[in-house]
């Protein structure tokens, strides 16, 4: 960690800090896991621009409580489509039985199913996907990593019995 205050770092020192952060693989895994479990945006709404058939992986649960074995869902132009980012990121069918556990090590051994998922960042929908994905993703990630790095390198953290 540089001894110079962050606000007075030269461009070479900033680049060196950035390279250091990029090479901290466990820090990257912690950030991925945090954004997987608690995405800043839990869902989004989109409007269909054309009629389409959306394939499904699981049986469809209908509003009357029955289960349909249909293989796709028809979406009409102009319909609103709810994209449940949090549900996608925490799907136990895709991520495994420990999908809801904080496990940074999961990123070292992802299944082929997970690796094939769409998503701008780490096969997650946290920053969306496609042409309307978050343009601030890289900035957010470097900011998150820098903040954690400075906190962890500057302070000591320990459990306490004191009420905070």
Question: What's the pLDDT at 18?
Answer: 83
pTM: 0.76
The yes-or-no verdict on residue 1 having pLDDT over 70 is no
Residue 69's pLDDT is what?
84
Q: Are 86 and 100 in contact (CB under 8 A)?
A: no
φ/ψ of residue 67, rounded to 5: -115, 125
- Contact yes or no for 80/45 (Cβ under 8 A): yes
Instruction: Give pLDDT tens digits for 98-117.
Output: 999 999 999 998 888 888 87
* pLDDT 10s digits, 139-153: 888 899 989 988 988
Q: Are strands 80-83 and 72-75 parallel, antiparallel or unpaired?
A: unpaired
Tally of CB atoms within 10 A around 147:
10
Which residues are part of a known binding site for heme? 134
- The whole-angstrom separation of Cα 144 and Cα 151 is 11
Q: What is the pLDDT of residues 20-77, one digit of tens each?
A: 888 999 999 999 999 999 998 888 888 999 999 989 877 888 889 898 888 888 999 9
Residue ranges of the binding site: 134
In 3D space, the residue among 115, 124, 118 whose CA is nearest the CA of residue 91 turns out to be 124
């Amino acid at each position: 960690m540089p001894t110079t205050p962050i606000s007075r770092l030269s461009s070479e020192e900033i680049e060196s800090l950035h390279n250091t952060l990029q090479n901290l693989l466990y820090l990257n895994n912690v950030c991925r896991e945090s954004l997987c479990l608690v995405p800043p945006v839990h869902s989004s709404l989109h409007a269909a621009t054309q009629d389409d058939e959306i394939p499904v992986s699981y049986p469809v649960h209908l509003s009357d409580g029955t289960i349909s074995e249909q293989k796709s869902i028809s979406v009409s132009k102009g319909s609103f489509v709810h994209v449940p980012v949090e549900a996608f990121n925490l799907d136990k069918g895709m991520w495994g039985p420990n999908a809801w556990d904080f496990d940074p090590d999961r990123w070292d051994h992802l299944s082929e199913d997970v690796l094939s998922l769409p998503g701008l960042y780490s096969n997650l929908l946290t920053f969306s996907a496609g042409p309307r994905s978050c343009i601030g993703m890289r900035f957010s990630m470097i900011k998150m990593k820098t903040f954690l790095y400075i906190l962890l390198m500057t302070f000591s953290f320990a459990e306490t019995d004191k009420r905070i």
